[in-house]
Structure 1
Amino acid sequence: MGRKVTLAVCALNQWALDFEGNLKRILHSIKIAKQNGARYRLGPELEICGYGCADHFYESDTILHSFQVLAELLQSPETTDIICDVGMPVMHKNVRYNCRVIFLNKKILLIRPKMVMANGGNYREIRWFTPWSKPREVEDHFLPRTIQKITGQDTVPFGEAVLATKDTCLGTEICEELWSPNSPHIEMGLDGVEIFTNSSGSHHELRKAHLRVDLVRSTTAKNGGIYLLSNLKGCDSDRLYFDGCAMISLNGDIVTQGAQFSLHDVEVLTATLDLEDVRSYRAQISSRCITASRVTPFRRIRVDFSLSSLDDVYLLTSNPIQWQYHSPEEEISLGPACWLWDYLRRSKQSGFLLPLSGGIDSSAVACIVFSMCCLVCEAVDTGNFDVLHDVRQIVNDESYTPKVPQEFCKRVLTTCYMSTDNSSKETNERAKLLAEQIGSYHLTPSIDTAVKAVVGIFSAVTGKIPQFRAHGGSGRENLALQNVQARVRMVTAYLFAQLSLWARGLPGGLLVLGSANVDESLRGYLTKYDCSSADINPIGGISKTDLRAFIQYSVEKFQLPSLTSIMSAPPTAELEPLTDGKVSQTDERDMGMTYDELSVYGKLRKVVKTGPYSMFCKLLLAWRTLTPKQVADKVKFFFRMYSIHRHKMTTLTPAYHAESYSPDDNRFDLRPFLYNTAWPWQFRCIDEQVSCLEENRRDDGWEEVD
């Protein structure tokens, strides 16, 4: 009958400017799609050059090499008899566009430019690309001569059009267009488009997956149709991890789900669906039919090709499935682990060095590295030869095969507890026990000699000997002596990262891992250029609250009982003298606020976009057990501390982006780093409101709180 179509979507681990590797992965995905019977293959956004090229998009080389890859694809036997939809930048009339290039049997059918740019949060597409602003218009695009020789075409259609095959009609969206209030699929569907495609470059963020899935479901729930979503996966070259989740939807149901986190560089999903299911679904919706009869038609590009075969009566179709979501703890376990693996294998380093303090943050990083080791061993066990090849390059042993995560962890993770006179026996033991359980190569150097030498230099020059507050020193002396320890730890960490493998007779160097969480960065509770300064930080975008939950999850998931004592210990920097051999310094006391409060401040500041006065107004209702003055004091203290320490965000270690209130100054949170820390106008507005509320406290239902 010719009404069942088999379609393929891909999740590819592409890398910015890795044209050779990207081409290999695209061809591999096309091969798999054809083997699975697909006659249409959709790849992710900008898959030819990689999404994260950033200012390299300005270079003519990037477009030149993208067309060279396109030429290889057009001529490859793998691309015959299948419609291939690939992403790349294209210059049209001296304007750079983010495009889909759709071709079949050495002929380009359509170049479709992106119409809605992602231009907020982590994205700056409008810096490099111009949105196509001519809906339903198509122009002639003159091809480069190298492509003309292959296709025999001087020009091809460029613009917003749809493809009309012999049996159906396909329309294209590109990533952000799905998130737009007026998505192209709405009117395309009303004009008879039955198959919608979306090539995405969508990153992972905790608790975000359901938003993407709900959007895809909703596209076809009201309007009917088939929706294909392809996405990038892996670390493209920056702080983001693209988390796959390729999917296919039919009439509001998901029929196939791709992995959100995996070490497979190429994932291809196929589904066989009945076009008559789309037609009958739409025909019964009277309001849709009335609206569709009035829609302005799209330009149709006729394609002498069928997605279905005439004899498909016995061809089985795909059934709806229930989407399986990961918990936030699983996301923390898997997302940063995959990101670390990509960074390790692509940086050509031999492993990681982690300053392991015995606290929650550094222990969480250790667990994430251990999770990476588990994923690697699982991938090798299931026959992933690409992962095995990467493992052997990292450990510099062509005969090595990882068997158990602890054994592989000893090869790639060196943990280092750097003690001083202010370090407690308890934290040392906790770090040592965790290192034993995950299998890391553990070192326990004392840095007292170096700390005393640095302080000695100062004393020799000034004649002054600074003292801790506990020994009668001032606040300035106390803070300076803490910072010396923290910064010496950073220097020591990099020394061991560069030379510890050499000392063991092994080749290569190590990447230093940071362990400052998103809340401490927001508050500025870290020493500039201390152990928060590292090569990469897998938890820099994760809150303390979520890290606690992840540690609890890891106790059972990875069978690490040592984490129980780490969970119960109060977070501490251990930079001040001990009292009777016990830690007296705690993080929350030093910060003057709790981690839970910091999460609230962070979300209101970044996500809700509140300044001091608006934050005060919102917290009045959220914290009704406090008086207006108490709320005001907390808000003012937060903004004072935030603004004093904002300069530290300019030097934050590149961190895995996982939280919507990240204060990362380099990409995500574009705010000043020099403030008037008194906030005189803003705080005066708060004080005036407090005075008014206090006068009417009883009438408004406020109660005094001791």
Structure 2
Amino acid sequence: MFNYVKIAVAVPKLKVADCVYNKKEILNTIAKAADKKVKILAFPELSITAYTCADLFFQSPLLVSAEKNLAEIAEDTKELDMLILIGVPVLADNQTFNCAALLHKGKILGLVPKTLLPNYSEFYEERWFSSADDLISEEISFAGQVVPIGGDLLFTAEKIPYLKVGVEICEDLWGPIPPSCYLSLYGATVILNPSASNELAAKPDYRHQLVAQQSSRCLSAYAYASAGVGESTQDTVFSGHSLIYENGVLLGESESFCRDNQLICADVDLELLVSERRKHTTFMSQLTKPDAQKFYREIKFDMCVGELGEFLRPITAKPFTPKDDASLSKRCRDIFMIQTAGLARRMEHVHAKTLVIGISGGLDSTLALLVCVKACDYLGVSRDHVLGITMPGFGTTDRTYQNALTLMKSLGVSMREISIRDAAIQHFKDIGHDPAIHDITYENTQARERTQILMDISNQTGGIVVGTGDLSELALGWATYNGDHMSMYGVNAGIPKTLVRVLVNWVANTGELDRKASEILLDVLDTPVSPELLPPDENGNINQKTEDLVGPYELHDFFLYQIIRFGFSPGKVLFLAEQAFGDAYPREILLKWLKNFYHRFFMQQFKRSCLPDGPKVGALCLSPRSDWRMPTDASNRIWMDEVEKL
């Protein structure tokens, strides 16, 4: 199942000190989890007794009942191939420990005691419990079984790749160096935290930050199961606010103060986590420090992969674009300023008198022009330092031509118009090419002529050529080598096509431009993406639509993200695309363009190996000086073979 594992956090209805009642609610929740194909299930801290028993933890009947009912839960779940964490008080070495018991197929795999015991404000845990550091024994007899006990336990599923589970309890996470830091360094990809975090004003936000940051820092999945409204409200109130994060991304969250049992499920991508760890070379470097040298006992269990059931994981069709408007606006502003600052620094460094840019009336050159204008504003120099050049050719339509001219006028930049028709026709004569043959020579002649014009005018005016090509075009090699492929600074090189569209739309709606300029931007967004290298149709409309030739950019950007960001296989990429796009594209269409992506990506690496400078703006970049180094003559056989089988 592509290395997904379904994990869940449960918030059962509990009664304080009523282990029999709590057992029934726990078993009911386990049954619901089994129906949903959950493989790992975490209950809150001390869930067998409830957390707020206070001095009742000194009472032998409570401790005996907790042990007895846990044994009965183990017996009742011996047919389930599910790893179940239940909070339970445990007597050992003349002390009581606040433990997490991990059960699988009726066996108690281990008991993990809490390490950091809060004894401040409303918490008095040192009154009842001892820290894991005070433990003497390595195994004890508990609930009729001989069970490993300690904070040094890691639980490994032998038959499921990458699945290793670590446990820390509530306050352990709130300390300066949580145990999960070390657990993850020693292989834990999933961290379970049974917690009893009482509710305070603004605490949910902090809880989110804490769990999100720890899952990011540990490059792990983090399941935080917190005690609910059944706890005592004598001095504190518990809301059951539980969370599932994966590498800083929220996958699931409970409803606070819910009076019913809750089960929050999510499918965790173990392969994604391992991929991130392989890339982050500083992750394992911490183990060279003496204080990180620890010994963990590995507890193996024979969980099988099984069915995934309903896929419970948010998969967006636009992975480069935030969903909510507030995040989107901030992201756009950040990206635009990265582009602007990068270009401004280059302009200062080379003492450029002009920013020379080819303006086609298309999407990419429009964004690059906006960046040029913003760079001049940023440096406090006149916008006439931007020299926009429109170079109509055989495929230029009146719509894009007029948009290019009008936009440059409204932005107040310097303008020139240079037709490339005569130069291209002369070149055809020089090389003996029939201009009636509209092949790749016909197309690339125009692209290279435009680049020559830009380069020469930049020399003439003491400027630099600003590149307009984007990340999606670089991935597909949809650029003319030594034509639009080349510039002196490529401001769009780190931005995929789907995000270029979002950025232009954002600028159009910020209110910083006049009405005419904003209208032009909106029309550019409505214009089909095209290199305009073939003559228009009989009605004067664009006759060469890029997405008809190479495929929809929304698909290619999705493929790019999954393949390069995480290294996923073709089968997994197809599976995710089916989840993300639903019925928008039939399977055979997805496969067609996926195959095309792999073909073009490998064949066009030579263009990426000699990219001009340009700013990285996101987590993914194809510059050979940044994220992607690949031999230009590497074979794509392994990937293409798998696509063919699909």
Query: Normalization by structure 2: what TM-score?
Result: 0.46
For normalisation by structure 1, the TM-score amounts to: 0.42
Higher alpha-carbon Rg: 2
